[in-house]
């Protein structure tokens, strides 16, 4: 009796220890976000205004962490998509790709429509005057057609930007990785390896090994995330002017975008997830706390991609689905960005007292959807494609500077929604594809990492 009592009494403690141990990194990352906020506010109020060099010193540890993650993006993206497509039957790859694209397209359109409804109902720019906050944005004379052409015309490792002056159209390559080009190249290469069957297995094994190696390196790097996130958030708070003053001028715009992101993330996406899988999305969202905190801290869906893949692997999601859907989603699925660009364009039009017809609103919807696909998964990439949306309704590109004062913060929230949408989409596609994937269970177990086998084999229980 006494032994039984002591054993049962120890169980809650041991379970608590296991819970803390398994979620330690998540706790530390969340602490990093709040710690960075507290540190930034304390430093900002403790002395004279900080110089750019001083802010750079504060941000330096965060920049190192961000660059480490970015170093993993290209090898992880190429190896993950290639190995995932190459290991799947061609018909199965088509089904998974079709389901993923339909999901991403549906959620993006829903986000744009929701944003337009909110900004047309709340009208945050009506009857208000917002002065230029003094922020500077690099703008270019880019036509909508040019941006759409650049999505498919540039080389995989370079980002092509067309520069159309008044009399002569030229183009130049700028720094940056064309992630969409890499995704397309990886899909084609993976399909080719799959068609080669036995001859392609050595090359497939190479990409599978590279993918696994990248995930191991990722597991090392993410332990730095609490420190990196802390300094990134603190530095951003030091850079900004009086946040109270900014909210006084852009408060309704800020709240409209935030309301749209919250309704889309915890409403629209969750409803789509439930109708498709017959499961509630919130338990899965709760398990993504580390991913969401990292997305908020870095402001980059691409940089968060390795951590998202690792999190979904730990949930027991099929690695072939994860390594295909997540990189594609991080490239083309930007729900938060699409919603923000639609709201921002109509908000600026309201400020300028420009009446938009139904045709203009439809044009904004289409352009915002296309622009979100072309937006890079890097911090504040939406400002570049925002120029394209403004051009649709005849607004000058310089009007981007009106909203730039709060863009850095909204960018982090919309990136968090983008990443959450990608992760839930992967779980949804995995749920719809279970019957197709069950026919290749052996290949599934071979690709899985050791910590996934417990999830994959139903005969093993804790």
Contact between residue 229 and residue 61 where contact means Cβ atoms under 8 Å apart: no
Has residue 79 got a pLDDT over 90?
no
Residue 461 has pLDDT above 50, yes or no: no
How high is the mean pLDDT of the chain?
75
Name the 3-class secondary structure at 440: coil
pLDDT of residue 285: 92
Q: Calculate what percentage of the chain has a pLDDT beyond 90.
A: 13
Residues 6 or more apart in contact with residue 204 via CB below 8 angstroms: 82, 83, 86, 87, 193
- Mean pLDDT across 369-376: 63
More confident residue, 384 or 340: 340
Question: Which of the four pLDDT bands, split at 50, 70 and 90, describes residue 459?
Answer: very low
Considering Cα of 168, then 173, then 177, then 183, what sign does the dihedral take?
positive
The overall longest dimension of the chain from CA atoms, in Å, is 92
Percent of residues, the chain, with pLDDT higher than 70: 71
CB of 106 within 8 A of CB of 329? Answer: no
Q: Which residues pair with 161 in a beta bridge?
A: 172
Q: Where are the alpha helices (DSSP H) in 222-318?
A: 225-239, 243-263, 269-277, 282-286, 289-298, 301-314
Q: In the chain, what are the domains?
A: 25-153+178-438 (1.10.3860.10)
- 305 pLDDT more than 60: yes
pLDDT in tens, 197-233: 788 889 988 988 988 888 788 778 878 878 888 888 8
Hey, how many other C-beta atoms are within 10 angstroms of the C-beta on 132? 12
Average pLDDT, integer, range 162-175: 48
Work out the average pLDDT over 424-447.
73
> Is pLDDT of 446 > 60?
no
Q: What is the pLDDT of residues 317-362, one digit of tens each?
A: 988 888 888 888 887 788 888 888 888 888 888 888 888 777 778 8
pTM of the model: 0.68
Q: How high is the pLDDT of residue 241?
A: 64
What is each CA distance from 393 to 207, 334, 347, 364, in whole angstroms?
Answer: 45, 21, 12, 7
Residue 456 binned pLDDT confidence (cut-offs 50, 70, 90): very low
Q: Which phi and psi (to 5°) does residue 136 adopt?
A: -115, 140
């Amino acid at each position: 009796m006494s032994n039984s009592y002591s054993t049962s009494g120890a169980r809650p403690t041991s379970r608590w220890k296991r819970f803390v141990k398994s979620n330690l990194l998540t706790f530390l990352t969340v602490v990093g976000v709040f710690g960075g906020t507290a540190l930034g506010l304390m430093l900002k109020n403790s002395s004279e205004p900080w110089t750019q060099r001083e802010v750079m010193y504060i941000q330096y540890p965060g920049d190192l962490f961000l660059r480490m993650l970015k170093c993993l993006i290209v090898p992880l993206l190429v190896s993950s998509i290639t190995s995932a497509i190459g290991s799947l039957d061609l018909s199965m790859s088509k089904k998974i790709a079709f389901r993923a694209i339909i999901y991403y397209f549906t959620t993006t359109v829903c986000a744009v429509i929701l944003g337009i409804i909110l900004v047309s109902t709340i009208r945050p720019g009506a009857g208000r005057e917002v002065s230029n906050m003094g922020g500077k944005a690099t703008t270019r004379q880019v036509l909508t057609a040019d941006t759409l052409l650049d999505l498919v015309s540039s080389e995989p490792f370079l980002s092509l930007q067309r520069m159309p002056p008044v009399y002569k159209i030229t183009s130049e390559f700028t720094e940056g990785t064309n992630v969409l080009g890499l995704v397309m190249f990886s899909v084609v290469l993976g399909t080719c390896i799959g068609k080669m069957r036995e001859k392609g297995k050595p090359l497939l094994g190479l990409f599978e090994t590279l993918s696994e190696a990248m995930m191991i390196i990722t597991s090392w790097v993410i332990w730095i995330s609490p420190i990196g996130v802390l300094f990134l958030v603190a530095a951003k708070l030091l850079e900004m002017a009086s946040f109270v003053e900014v909210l006084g001028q852009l408060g309704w715009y800020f709240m409209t975008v935030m309301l749209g992101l919250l309704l889309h993330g915890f409403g629209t996406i969750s409803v789509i997830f439930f109708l498709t899988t017959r499961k509630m999305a919130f338990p899965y969202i709760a398990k993504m706390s580390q991913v969401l905190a990292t997305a908020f801290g870095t402001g980059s869906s691409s940089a968060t991609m390795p951590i998202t893949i690792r999190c979904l692997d730990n949930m027991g999601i099929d690695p072939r689905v994860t390594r295909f859907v997540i990189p594609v989603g991080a490239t083309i699925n930007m729900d938060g960005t699409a919603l923000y660009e639609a709201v921002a364009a109509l908000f600026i039009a309201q400020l300028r007292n420009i009446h938009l017809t139904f045709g203009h609103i439809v044009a904004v919807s289409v352009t915002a959807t296309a622009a979100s696909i072309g937006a890079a998964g890097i911090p504040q990439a939406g400002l570049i494609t925002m120029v394209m949306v403004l051009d649709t309704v005849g607004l000058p590109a310089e009007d981007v500077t009106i909203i730039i004062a709060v863009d850095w913060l909204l960018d982090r929230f919309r990136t968090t929604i983008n990443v959450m949408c990608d992760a839930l989409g992967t779980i949804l596609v995995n749920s719809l594809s279970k019957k197709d994937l069950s026919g290749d269970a052996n290949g599934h177990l071979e690709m899985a990492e050791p910590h996934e086998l417990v999830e994959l084999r139903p005969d093993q229980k804790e």
